[in-house]
């Protein structure tokens, strides 16, 4: 759901600016959390998820968009990297912090309190977030013409061959990273390799911290080198090699497994560069749309990869296949490995997009 909504939000950022879109997005997330915390039926839970998704889809793209506006397109890549640093660092700790909070208070109390923080943040955003330059707005032709122009922007940007390739490269890298970080790394380290649950949790956190570490310097290094392509390929290759090591090295040591998790995250930070590469080939007033398309495709594929390995595991167990857990894990990991291999191959066919680069 989050991925399917994102492209329209990018176009809205381009047309209305962050000053109008971001405060509304924060408010929607807050309302969604309040609905979730006070839900009395499954239908209310679904409504909460929808409202949260409508707001959250502006988060990552909106933060990068604001950075690009206030620091200029020359710093757009670095600012997007900084956004990912904050996002990944927060993600590495948030699950443990939320779990600790839920151990202390009832979940409804916890999320109602969380929503109070959202209300404060929404008020601050309405007061302080502004557009650095005037946005086009809805225009004199009315809301219908405005929506038509938003759809036109999404189609015109989305059909560009370079945007399609950049979106696929980012999606396959990011989706593999998210699936491993959220679910599969912990399960692999604990259930297959036999490590203590606390170490397995640390391994999952290291995947996020590796992304944060890589996102802090990879976009900067790309600007210094004035190249996107080599680092995109290198990052994807590191991610693929670490994934192979985690699933195909028998009886790995704890240090080896944790190092592989961290380096896996570092390699996945190359998924930041397709955002910059997409922005390189569009007009300045289409940067938000290009970023939203890339991240939208990424989250759609991530939703598939979060569940697909589990489907394979369940089918293997239901079929009564009597094989070792590692063999089942290796079979289940095939969708992840295929996705991780795609950007490595595709990277050799993408054109160099850095504005001053002359070579393909």
Q: Phi/psi zone of residue 183: left (φ > 0), alpha (ψ -120 to 50 degrees), beta? A: alpha
Decide which of 275 and 265 is more confident: 265
List b or e across 51-90, with b for residues whose CB sees 16 or more CB atoms inside 10 angstroms.
bbbbbbbbbbbbbbbbbbbeeeeebbbbbbbbbbbebbbe
Instruction: Work out the number of other CB atoms within 10 angstroms of the CB of residue 234.
Output: 15
Q: What is the pLDDT of residues 156-185, one digit of tens each?
A: 888 899 999 999 999 999 889 988 988 889
Q: What is the pLDDT of residue 318?
A: 56
**How many CA within 13 A on the CB side of residue 108?**
5
Total domain count for the chain?
A: 1
Question: Would you call 310 exposed, middle or buried from its count of C-beta atoms within 10 A (0-12, 13-18, 19+)?
Answer: middle
Interval 219-231 mean pLDDT: 91
Q: What is the pLDDT of residue 5?
A: 53
User: What is the distance between the alpha carbons of residues 280 and 44, in angstroms, rounded to a whole number?
Assistant: 42
Quick check: is 358 in a domain? no
360 confidence band (pLDDT: 50, 70, 90): very low
Quick check: is 172 in a domain? yes
Tokens found for residue 291: 């970023």
Write out the H or E segment, with its range, that includes residue 278.
helix 273-280
Quick check: is 353 in a domain? no
Return all residues near 221 (Cβ < 8 A) that are at least 6 apart.
Answer: 231
Q: What is the pLDDT of residue 253?
A: 95
Quick check: is 201 in a domain? yes
Residues of the domain holding 148: 2-346
Least confident of 4-8, 85-89, 142-146, 209-213: 4-8
User: What is the distance between the alpha carbons of residues 171 and 139, in angstroms, rounded to a whole number?
Assistant: 34
pLDDT at 321 over 80: no
Greatest mean pLDDT among 92-101, 197-206, 256-265, 272-281: 256-265
Instruction: Work out the number of other CB atoms within 10 angstroms of the CB of residue 315.
Output: 12
Interval 32-50 mean pLDDT: 92
Q: What is the pLDDT of residues 186-220, one digit of tens each?
A: 888 988 888 998 899 889 889 999 999 999 999 89
56 confidence band (pLDDT: 50, 70, 90): confident
Whether the CA torsion 302, 307, 310, 311 is positive or negative: it is negative
Quick check: is 356 in a domain? no
User: What is the distance between the alpha carbons of residues 152 and 11, in angstroms, rounded to a whole number?
Assistant: 9
Quick check: is 351 in a domain? no
Quick check: is 357 in a domain? no
Interval 286-302 mean pLDDT: 81
User: What is the distance between the alpha carbons of residues 318 and 296, in angstroms, rounded to a whole number?
Assistant: 34
Q: What is the pLDDT of residue 345?
A: 94
Quick check: is 287 in a domain? yes
Q: What is the pLDDT of residue 69?
A: 72
CATH of the domain at 113: 1.20.1250.20
- pTM of whole model > 0.85? no
Picking from 139, 148, 123, 170, the residue whose alpha carbon sits closest to that of residue 273 is: 170
pLDDT, averaged across the chain: 83
């Amino acid at each position: 759901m989050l991925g399917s909504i994102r492209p329209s939000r990018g176009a809205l950022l381009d047309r209305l600016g962050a000053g109008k879109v971001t405060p509304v997005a924060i408010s929607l997330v807050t309302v969604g959390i309040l609905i979730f915390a006070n839900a009395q039926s499954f239908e209310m839970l679904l409504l909460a998820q929808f409202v949260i998704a409508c707001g959250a889809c502006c988060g990552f793209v909106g933060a990068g968009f604001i950075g690009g506006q206030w620091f200029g397109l020359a710093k757009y890549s670095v600012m997007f990297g900084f956004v990912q640093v904050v996002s990944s660092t927060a993600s590495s700790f948030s699950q443990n912090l939320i779990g600790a909070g839920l151990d202390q208070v009832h979940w409804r109390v916890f999320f109602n309190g969380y929503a109070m923080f959202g209300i404060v943040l929404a008020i601050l955003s309405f007061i302080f977030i502004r557009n650095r330059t005037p946005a086009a707005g809805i225009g004199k032709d009315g809301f219908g013409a405005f929506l038509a122009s938003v759809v036109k922007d999404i189609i015109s940007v989305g059909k560009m061959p370079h945007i399609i390739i950049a979106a696929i490269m980012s999606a396959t890298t990011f989706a593999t990273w998210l699936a491993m970080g959220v679910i599969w790394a912990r399960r692999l380290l604990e259930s297959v390799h036999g490590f203590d649950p606390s170490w397995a949790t640390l391994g999952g956190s290291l995947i996020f911290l590796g992304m944060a570490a890589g996102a802090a310097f990879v976009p900067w290094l790309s600007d210094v080198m004035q190249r996107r392509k080599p680092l995109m390929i290198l990052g994807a290759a590191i991610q693929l090699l670490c994934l192979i090591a985690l699933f195909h090295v028998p009886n790995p040591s704890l240090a080896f497994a944790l190092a592989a998790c961290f380096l896996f995250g570092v390699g996945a930070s190359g998924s930041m560069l397709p955002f910059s590469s997409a922005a390189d080939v569009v007009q300045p007033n289409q940067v938000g749309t290009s970023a939203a398309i890339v991240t939208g495709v990424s989250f759609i594929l991530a939703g598939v990869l979060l569940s697909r390995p589990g489907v394979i595991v369940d089918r293997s167990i239901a079929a009564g296949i009597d094989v070792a857990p590692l063999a089942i894990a290796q079979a289940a990991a095939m969708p992840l490995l295929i996705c991780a291999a795609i950007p490595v191959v595709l990277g050799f066919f993408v054109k160099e997009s850095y504005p001053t680069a002359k070579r393909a």
